[in-house]
Structure 1
């Protein structure tokens, strides 16, 4: 009998069906879990399901029964994986479920900003259409996607799908070579060239010590074409204070973000304070969250648990079993 504890069920929408795993089990679901509740709730559990709850080495060392951490997401930075390796705890994640939802959200942000939809909507609500005295008015620039240079940071499945959609719009996608890395394969364009020549830069990288704040003031100052900056990946990849400064200094033309460095963002988060500008769109980490994608995630999550228990583990990040 496996005791399975889902620590943050509300990170999946209530309409998403989480089927019972086809193994001998007891499934306990908690809407959310605070750090002081972790030890009590995971006591005796062999399988933990988490999305964003941090699991530290100090905690894991006190859970001798824990055999699998099944992450209900792709990112794994909330788990101390080195401790899991040392303690023989397997870690699995979800892969491939967001192949449509994240790229579509990326282009929703790009299209809204490239065509200044928020600014025009605000003008209409303010009565500017009536004041114009004609059938249309031109208070904000509108730009096509066709012919625009699309800089993509991150060449995984999501970055590849964004490139496909960009080509369908007639854009010119470029995959940025890794920052600070020498050597280029045929897929890549030099990092500095992507910064200098892109009309839009979209980020699809994991958050690691190497990628944290990969876009900061030196990078913004190198962006000669005043691009849009899009981030539907991870907060922390872009220096948010520098981003707002780049907006103030007219180094970039706008920003569309679905993530912040802390989530939910603190009241003084610079990106949150900038979100009222017509050229800034901030959404609450929902690029991944179409109903179709969430259901695929939930089904894969249960598959990972069943496969692990049956001796054929899937989507292992690392771990012994």
Structure 2
């Protein structure tokens, strides 16, 4: 294939399951893909690349300045915290992301976690494993509270497409959604509740905001103390939004009733992570960053990704972050 064709490099294609269909891009190109790419492998793999696709591979300014051929970074996810956006803006590297692809998948995952935690399904499953039923000698037993989801107030942090979709689905099953204002601001916008008051009112808190310097540890010891002891915290946003050590303390002390987490401060997480180290807790439900990953959402993601690249070549600015 002629070397003059633009080179497209997908650094971590294994983040997309093999059964998801990739159509051909609409322009002549070289396509190079790798299942995974470590930082040590970037120098070799980015040579000559004009378009780089990355889901989670970190692309900072120190790396990017070595490869002046790069014209577009197509992030195959919504979050762009793995890309040095300031460097890209200063050096005319376009960055696009995927928006609106998981507005069914993530809300359904959140609602599933809410039902599991509010009805203590995991805790009861553990008790059956431990033989509690046989010891109790009744047709049923009640070792954990079971609370209805209908009528519960769900505080949503982040009012983008996912936050709005959560509100719609939550309303459909009888919850009352409220949107939290940004933390630390003095002026509360119409249709929002102050951050602190929103935490105090919540039976459920669900996080759907980006991870930035200002949102790191958005929920820590002080914020957990504001929440009801019967409330649950759901995080399908980014792991760094919550101080994991403080969360485990709150779960163990009964400061909050439960937590469902699909994201972690480091991924893949291991037992050095406070959540994995305490995953036997009956009020902690963990999934491996898969809330976004229904089959329909994955196909939509790939379709948008390829459209973003085609549009860039055509001079359009689809889903541009930079």
Q: TM-score range by the shorter chain?
A: over 0.9
Q: Tell me, yes or no, if the aligned pair for 1:244 and 1:271 is still in contact at 8 Å.
A: yes
Determine if the alignment matches structure 1 residue 237 to structure 2 residue 241: yes
Segments of 5+ residues of structure 2 without an aligned counterpart are: none
Determine if the alignment matches structure 1 residue 125 to structure 2 residue 101: no
- 1:284-312 Cα offsets, whole Å, 9 max, x none, are 00000111101100011110111111112
Determine if the alignment matches structure 1 residue 116 to structure 2 residue 120: yes
Q: Tell me, yes or no, if the aligned pair for 1:53 and 1:78 is still in contact at 8 Å.
A: yes
- 1:220 Cα shift? 1.1
| 1:285 matched residue in structure 2 | 289
The 3-state SS of whatever aligns with 1:245 is helix
| 1:262 matched residue in structure 2 | 266
- 1:109-141 Cα offsets, whole Å, 9 max, x none, are 111011111111122233333444333221211
- 1:126-182 Cα offsets, whole Å, 9 max, x none, are 333344433322121111011111111111111111111111111111111110011
Q: 1:72 aligns with which of 57, 61, 76?
A: 76
Q: 1:290 and 1:145 mapped to 2: Cα distance?
A: 24
Counting only pairs closer than 5 Å after superposition, residues 127-276 of structure 1 correspond to structure 2 as 127-276=131-280
| 1:16 matched residue in structure 2 | 20
Q: 1:157 and 1:278 mapped to 2: Cα distance?
A: 32
Q: Tell me, yes or no, if the aligned pair for 1:199 and 1:225 is still in contact at 8 Å.
A: no
Q: 2:84 and 2:194 mapped to 1: Cα distance?
A: 33
- Structure 1 residues 204-213 or 263-272, which shifts more? 263-272
The 3-state SS of whatever aligns with 1:70 is strand
Q: 2:37 aligns with which of 33, 41, 61?
A: 33
Cα 1:164–1:243 shift into 2, 3 Å:
same
Q: 2:105 and 2:189 mapped to 1: Cα distance?
A: 28
Q: 1:308 and 1:177 mapped to 2: Cα distance?
A: 35
| 1:42 matched residue in structure 2 | 46
- Structure 1 residues 167-176 or 41-50, which shifts more? 167-176
Segments of 5+ residues of structure 1 without an aligned counterpart are: none
Q: 1:198 and 1:165 mapped to 2: Cα distance?
A: 17
Counting only pairs closer than 5 Å after superposition, residues 92-111 of structure 1 correspond to structure 2 as 92-111=96-115
- 1:174-210 Cα offsets, whole Å, 9 max, x none, are 1111100111222101212112121111111100111
- Aligned CA RMSD, in angstroms, stands at 1.2
- Structure 1 residues 181-190 or 54-63, which shifts more? 181-190
Q: TM-score, normalised by structure 2?
A: 0.96
Cα 1:297–1:264 shift into 2, 3 Å:
same
| 2:59 matched residue in structure 1 | 55
| 2:303 matched residue in structure 1 | 299
Tell me the matched-pair count: 318
Q: TM-score, normalised by structure 1?
A: 0.96
Q: 1:150 and 1:141 mapped to 2: Cα distance?
A: 19
- 1:225 Cα shift? 4.2
